[in-house]
Structure 1
């Protein structure tokens, strides 16, 4: 019977924040004697990027379709500790039995969050390895865990500030009979930082200064954009955009203004990647407004960047330090107080975050997952906060 190894984290959900320590223990069970040099624990964090692009070239006068592979690899964490023996130890026999050891590794403050996407992944793992002297290979046992970048939205006052963007498109008479004039849109949100589980209240003002109505096929979306950057054979970029939530914009009559008020829900999702991180996988979020007109020339599109953090904004000064429920024995302090009905204030939270898989955004790293058994798949978990603000119906105002 082969050896077995069971890895247990001190934090049962297997989620750890940057700046804290990943700790736990493992139980190694062997049924036969082994000649070894030692037992080593490795804790690693790596990013891998890979995708293929199709191209054609001529061979013997004929165009042939080929595929070029773009890849990148970055290492963020590399911890190693021999709990028994060493790399250069004199060989000895590991007798059958059960062996228990602990591990503890401090996580740097600037690690990117765990992530799995179509063209790459950021993955952190604990690996217990038996350094065998009697075989050409070592026994390895791995367990992945989640790292969350500690993006506290209370640290930077910019996250508390209202944000808005405005743009317009001018039309001239053309064959599509939309008419001439200007369509202008402005979207405003009360602050710029949010967390998973929170609603984003917005106000959208649309001015239709044309002679044609704008139908109700326009929409406001919350979009996640992931940038994958290759290094080999050269630096190239692959982008992946996913709509997380959307709301339709009602009809806007000719020569009129209309204001829409509604909310977008932030699903369970990884935090925004800070701009100063040199990661080959970067995550960003924005609110996208698409005003669809009947003109064949162009539509009006606005993008308003926002930040998704891992600690929510509080709406009162002097609150106790926010606790992230890590480890599980720590006590939660309420993070925010104030009116539950005021859409211009951050919501109130009455418990610790729940750690959930980003099921709405679930995508396997397609290059890695080919041929890999399901039992080795891993889905990171992210903090999701639940607010108790009563839902409100969308508001439309003709101005």
Structure 2
């Protein structure tokens, strides 16, 4: 490095996470073994988003910028040997989106510094990434506290000449959740056929859409629960829960290039039929009296699904009573969706005293075992974790993305179409 021994940016109080509209202060530190002439020393605060058609490619196809402010720390002169510090402060815009990093794009906020040297000499540059978290308050979403329900009826053939109906209904206790919260899920399956079904699977799906020259969809399974199949002429009920792991929030306000959505998908493997429930993942929980898992499942109202007229097989063989049974769970799988970049630890996370004390500012904390900070209301003590901390987490390498799951409207229209065909 020659005369330049140290050139770095230090943020005040070693902060890592900021909120939109907050001041960001720090110093640019330069340590020299000899004198260094310069034309200017500047520092910039930049927020931007880039999207690429290729995974893990930083040659962005489409970009958008949220803010770019530059301060001149020193005009033309000579830095003597020793250490020099140049303080700076920026005001982050209130419209700055939450930081995000995925395989096809990222929302990055950083401070950059440059020593502009005389002609024919190499400029010196350094940068410091910081993270912005704009908490998603689930209570701002209409009807978020209501149960989420969808149903579908499918007619299928078996044994060449026989046919039957499957009515699949899935219900979640809420439409939005936070990290560490359990999704209470109930599934009703009416097997109106003489054939046993395959296993039933409930999955928590994440869909990230990147707007490049065309929309790119990255769809992955975050968690999965599997239950047994349903015997012939049985009406089965399956009650389960899925724990929400550390995940980025659903909505990136202010970012038009990256959209994050979550779904609960319940599907049968045989015959192939599925329903999809769109949900939100936020930072501030739904404001309601918490229920125990057992009680909350009991309070999910039963869904009344109109029965289809008897099939030809039923008419020929007589009436088939529908026995009510419960489906046992076969397996749980919590899939690790992210790989985490090193270099950040829990100790780097600081809070302003005013923010901690004020009831209007939720506490930034960590769930046990989680690696993504989130906001929680009330008196909450931050819990250190064994994993390194970064916000948001960096995705690991993934293959080409799959197509997106159906939207809530598409799922409903499909269900209505199936019901019409059954009639």
Work out whether the TM-score is over 0.5. Answer: yes
Q: Given the superposition, is the C-alpha separation of residues 19 and 111 from structure 1 closer, same or farther in structure 2, using an over 3 Å criterion?
A: same
Other-structure match for 1:221: 203
Match for residue 106 of structure 1 among 91, 101, 113:
91
Structure 2 residue aligned with 1:243: 221
Q: Is the 8 A contact 2:22 2:91 kept in 1?
A: yes
Match of residue 41, structure 1, among 25, 40, 43: 43
Q: In structure 2, what is the equivalent of residue 306 of structure 1?
A: 279
Q: Equivalent residues in 2 for 1:320-399 (5 A)?
A: 327=351, 329=353, 330-331=355-356, 350-352=380-382, 356-357=389-390, 362-363=395-396
Name which of 190, 204, 207 aligns with 1:207: 190
Following the alignment from structure 2 to structure 1, what is the Cα–Cα distance between the partners of residues 12 and 38?
28
Instruction: Say whether the 8 Å CA contact 2:27–2:86 is kept in structure 1.
Output: yes
**Which structure shows the higher helix fraction?**
2
Between Structure 1 and Structure 2, the one with more strand by share is 1
CA 100–133 in structure 1, closer or farther in 2 if over 3 Å, else same = same
Gaps of at least 5 residues in structure 2 are: 291-348, 364-375, 400-423
RMSD across aligned positions (CA):
3.3
1:285 matched to 2:254 = no
| 2-structure distance, mates of 1:144, 1:70 | 18
Out of 9, 12, 25, the position equivalent to 2:11 is 9
Q: CA deviation at 1:165?
A: 1.7
CA distance in 1, matches of 2:198, 2:397: 38
Structure 1 stretches of 5 or more lacking a match? 54-68, 86-90, 318-324, 337-345, 367-399
Distance 2:192 2:46 in 1: 58
Partner of 1:273: 251
Shift of 1:328: 5.1
**TM-superposition CA deviations, 1:220-262 (whole Å, max 9, x none):** 11111111121xxxx3121111111110122211222222222
SS of 2:356 mapped into structure 1: coil
Aligned residue in 2 for 1:79? 69
Distance in 2 separating the partners of 1:94 and 1:365: 47
Instruction: Check whether the contact 1:269–1:358 (CA below 8 A) recurs between aligned residues.
Output: no
- Separation in 2, partners of 1:113, 1:354: 23
Task: Tell me if structure 1 keeps the 8 A contact 2:139–2:286.
Answer: yes
Give 1:65's aligned residue.
Answer: none
Measured in 2, the distance between the counterparts of 1:245 and 1:347 equals: 26
**Is the 8 Å Cα contact of residues 113 and 127 (structure 2) preserved in structure 1?**
yes
Deviations 1:270-321 (A, max 9, x none): 11125x745222211111112111x4xxx1121111111122333369xxxx
Q: 1:315 aligns to what?
A: 288
Specify whether residues 239 and 47 from structure 1 end up closer, same or farther in structure 2 by C-alpha distance, changes over 3 A only: same
